[in-house]
Structure 1
Amino acid sequence: MDVAPDLLRRARKFALRAGLLAAAAPVAVAAAMTVTDAVRRRMHPLTATFPTEKPLTEHVEDTTTTIYTYGADLYDAMLEAIRGARHTVMLETYIWKDDTVGRQFKQTLIDAAARGVKVYVVVDGFANLVVPRSFFNFPPDVHVLRFPVFRPGMLALNVRKSGRDHRKILVVDDRVGFVGGYNIGSMYATQWRDTHIRLEGPAVWELRNAFVDFWNRQRTGRLPQLTDVGSDTWLPHLRAARNAPSELVFPIRGIYLDAIDRATSHVYITQAYFIPDHDIHDALLAAATRGVDVRVLVPHRSNHVVADWLARGLYTSLLRGGVRIFLYQDAMVHAKTATVDGRWTTIGTANIDRLSLTGNYEVNLEIVDPALAARMEDVFRLDLTNARELTIEQWERRSGLAKVGEALLSPLRPLL
């Protein structure tokens, strides 16, 4: 009797079961963590007060820039801009809550359209699945593009059909523009530490162009096409880097790598979800090795527990390599910012993780200006007053169970 075929079948069956178990384990652990964290967040919500800076203004040639680190201040400025609109309002957001702040934005847009302003709105369908669809019903003179949850090609893993619209942009009259990490909602107004920037002047074209390109590529036949006006102003030291999966363009990752590679003094990074890929991870370690002061500020506890645990899986190598990690306390820090050597700054919508850097539609401003960088470094130092540094000695004393959890979840890192 020839037993070889039977043994081969058994081996294949065993390998299949082992593979399924290996794939299921991290998903099961992630699901259990998510449920447990949801209970914990109900019992211990992230509602503590935190230090904030008043809006900070600098000038980059003919463009005035203002940094916002408190949501209520930002929303006041955005609503004021919409109320003063005479010609156009272009608003793009990832999450838009049906709450007091969300309804205020909705009504202000409706009022603008009623007085003859052309209003265009982009909202991500997936991010707002928990928001009643009726909330996004506007009068016909408000043009709404709901970026669809599912698109043809997604199930076939077509990269051009992947990604969410994670951007947050407001452009009014081609004169004033806003971009940054803030979504729209009452919770973000007072309970989250985030960063947005306001532009007034020629550089607003960078944000207008980002909105128009996305609108024209994604609109359906019922929505009007927007005019691409071009720009006679070139500011190589203030530009928008735009990730666009449909065009296979992902420059934000590149600007981070280039800036970190240039660093000779210091790198200050603030991130909500910090899961760097191999190249960014190695670039940070290389910078620390050559004597650069590399500091990363992240939430001690974010609103996505799985992202927290995936980030922690990289802490050992980063801390041993000289990267300093600071944990923001008792509140969610959601900013996506960095400064390098007191000259280079980025502010925008992209996290340092796979979803943002090689997946979603994102936009980050890249600004080379010492005065603005100094302002952002002041913000970073203020944030550190509400953070504690995680040392390698403290980290290596974590429980064995924590180490097992990090190992089990590590296969999910390429997905997030």
Structure 2
Amino acid sequence: MMRLLRHARQVKGRDVLKAAGLLTGAAAAVPVLTAGAVMGVDAVLNHNRRKRRAPNPGTFHAQLEDSNLSIYTSGGELYDDMIQAIESAEKSVYLETYIWKADEVGQRFMDALNQAAERGVKVFVLYDGMANLVVPRSFYRQFSEQVRVYRLPVVGKRFWVGPLRHSGFNHSKILVVDDSIGFAGGYNIGSLYANEWRDTHVREIGAGVWGLQHAIAQLWNAAHDPEDQIEWVAPRAWNPEVIVQANLPVQLVYPIRNTYLKAIARAEHRIWITTPYFIPDQQILQALVAAAERGVDVRVMVPKTSNHVVADWVSRGFYGQLLDAGITILLYSASMIHAKVATIDGEWSTVGTANIDRLSLSYNYETNVEVTDPRFAAEMEKVYAADAEHCEELSSPEWRDRHVMARVVETALVPLRPLL
């Protein structure tokens, strides 16, 4: 009898475990299936969507004590100035990018870099392997033998030794020429980004360029032997007005998230943020809510429809909490807005490559330029105001009245938040 009871308990226990396993698998499948369905519907809807040229607010400038800063909102103007800087290079060119298309814009950069290397300039190029899987390898085989190239692998050779250190996308977009002029921001390289996306890049001529060069050198040197390193250069100033914050997974260093948290905590009057993908962790979210509750004018500008529909739906899951806290949500409708910028209290600003999501703040290689200066902040506010003219402000009643199926999709996608 005792043997039969033990056997019955074992069978029951296995059934419970089996049932639990099935329930867990079903729960995990729900967000994946929902994401797939959302992407399928979006593909159908976008099939015949008309392409639109992105608005161009202009190019803005600010002269600081030891830095000359320019804010680009036009890919065409930015690419022209980047190419001109490469063509004028005398000693060194460092280019780091995420996506590099094999189109006419991509070819311009390829030709300029090869020509610089062939006239004796040291040229280093770093780009992401995963982001460019669809770009023909034949395009990258055009590099001159004099150009030093590092394609960040999809999975690092030492991934199993340290997954966090040897993974992460190379999401930075940086150009440094002769250690004296630097560009950083959201623009990838390609015609699409020049014409159809609204993005923001900054050019710095001054002491802050050292931080951009150093960020590239850290990534390159971690992947190369001692005899193949980028040489250290001395900074021009110990504490420049322009500071570069760079996420470097290979060193387990992620300062950009803390930079945002500190700046938001200091805000007294206004926090204006633009990001293409808004999927904040709880600390970022609570910091913004707390700022709004103490009377700060918090505005978050996002695309009405981005190029990643799943990210859009995951982001919408936060809208109710933001609206309840009195945060203004601006939906940019003129085109895809890809800018990753913020300005606070007319004093502090950042322009860079990091989105306000977990991938950017806790996983990827990212580079943001941080400027604490009212002259630069004033120009950033002009850009924000120009972009706001192309936005629809989301109201709380409107959001509360959305279709019940929208609520279902948002809820089903909540488990994806830590992954995006």
TM-score by length of 2: 0.96
Q: Spell out, residue by residue over 1:268-320, the C-alpha distance to the aligned partner (whole angstroms, 9 max, x if none).
A: 00001011110010000000000000000000000001110110011111111
> What residue number does 1:28 align with?
33
Is it true that 1:205 corresponds to 2:210 in the alignment? yes
> What residue number does 1:396 align with?
400
Q: Distance in 1 between matches of 2:225 and 2:32?
A: 36
Give the superposition deviation at 1:40.
2.4
> What residue number does 1:14 align with?
19
Where 2:131 maps in the other structure, the secondary structure is coil
Q: 1:276-295 alignment to 2 at 5 Å?
A: 276-295=280-299
> What residue number does 1:121 align with?
125
Q: 1:73-92 alignment to 2 at 5 Å?
A: 73-92=77-96
Q: Which amino acid aligns with 1:190?
A: N
> What residue number does 2:251 align with?
247
Is it true that 1:38 corresponds to 2:52 in the alignment? no
- Show structure 2 runs of 5+ residues with no match: none
> What residue number does 1:350 align with?
354
Residue number among 60, 63, 66 corresponding to 2:64 in the alignment = 60
- 8 A contact 1:253–1:357 mirrored in 2: yes
- 8 A contact 1:51–1:382 mirrored in 2: no
Q: Which amino acid aligns with 2:303?
A: P
Where 1:166 maps in the other structure, the secondary structure is coil
Give the superposition deviation at 1:9.
1.2
Q: 1:240-319 alignment to 2 at 5 Å?
A: 240-319=244-323
Q: Distance in 2 between matches of 1:60 and 1:6?
A: 75
Q: Distance in 1 between matches of 2:9 and 2:154?
A: 49
Give the superposition deviation at 1:255.
0.6
Is it true that 1:108 corresponds to 2:112 in the alignment? yes
Q: Which has the larger displacement, 114-123 or 344-353?
A: 114-123
Q: Distance in 1 between matches of 2:244 and 2:322?
A: 29
Give the superposition deviation at 1:161.
1.6
Where 1:294 maps in the other structure, the secondary structure is strand
> What residue number does 2:376 align with?
372
Q: Which amino acid aligns with 1:96?
A: W
Q: Which has the larger displacement, 227-236 or 281-290?
A: 227-236
Q: Distance in 2 between matches of 1:211 and 1:246?
A: 12
The sequence identity of aligned pairs, in percent, is 49
> What residue number does 2:196 align with?
191
Q: Spell out, residue by residue over 1:306-349, the C-alpha distance to the aligned partner (whole angstroms, 9 max, x if none).
A: 11011001111111111110000041000000000000000000
Q: Distance in 1 between matches of 2:196 and 2:86?
A: 24
Where 1:389 maps in the other structure, the secondary structure is strand
Q: Which amino acid aligns with 1:146?
A: R
Is it true that 1:152 corresponds to 2:157 in the alignment? yes
Give the superposition deviation at 1:153.
4.8
Where 2:139 maps in the other structure, the secondary structure is helix
Give the superposition deviation at 1:37.
1.8
Q: Distance in 1 between matches of 2:157 and 2:30?
A: 30
Q: 1:216-255 alignment to 2 at 5 Å?
A: 216-219=221-224, 224-255=228-259
- 8 A contact 2:54–2:195 mirrored in 1: no
Give the superposition deviation at 1:53.
2.3
Q: Which amino acid aligns with 1:309?
A: W
> What residue number does 2:330 align with?
326
Q: Distance in 2 between matches of 1:295 and 1:36?
A: 30
- 8 A contact 1:50–1:386 mirrored in 2: no
- 8 A contact 1:52–1:382 mirrored in 2: no
Aligned residues: 414
Give the superposition deviation at 1:195.
0.3
- 8 A contact 1:241–1:363 mirrored in 2: yes
Q: Spell out, residue by residue over 1:202-244, the C-alpha distance to the aligned partner (whole angstroms, 9 max, x if none).
A: 22111111111111112368x8311111214123531111111
Give the superposition deviation at 1:157.
7.1
Q: Distance in 1 between matches of 2:112 and 2:332?
A: 34
- 8 A contact 2:57–2:387 mirrored in 1: no
- Show structure 1 runs of 5+ residues with no match: none
- 8 A contact 1:178–1:199 mirrored in 2: yes
Q: Which amino acid aligns with 1:383?
A: D
Where 2:273 maps in the other structure, the secondary structure is strand
TM-score by length of 1: 0.97
Residue number among 339, 344, 359 corresponding to 2:343 in the alignment = 339
Give the superposition deviation at 1:43.
1.7
Where 1:160 maps in the other structure, the secondary structure is coil
**RMSD across aligned positions (CA):** 1.4
Q: Distance in 1 between matches of 2:109 and 2:276?
A: 25
Q: Which amino acid aligns with 1:148?
A: P
Give the superposition deviation at 1:35.
2.6
Give the superposition deviation at 1:156.
7.3
- 8 A contact 1:121–1:145 mirrored in 2: yes
Is it true that 1:386 corresponds to 2:383 in the alignment? no
Q: Which amino acid aligns with 1:191?
A: E
Where 2:300 maps in the other structure, the secondary structure is strand
Q: Which has the larger displacement, 27-36 or 174-183?
A: 27-36
Q: Distance in 2 between matches of 1:159 and 1:142?
A: 29
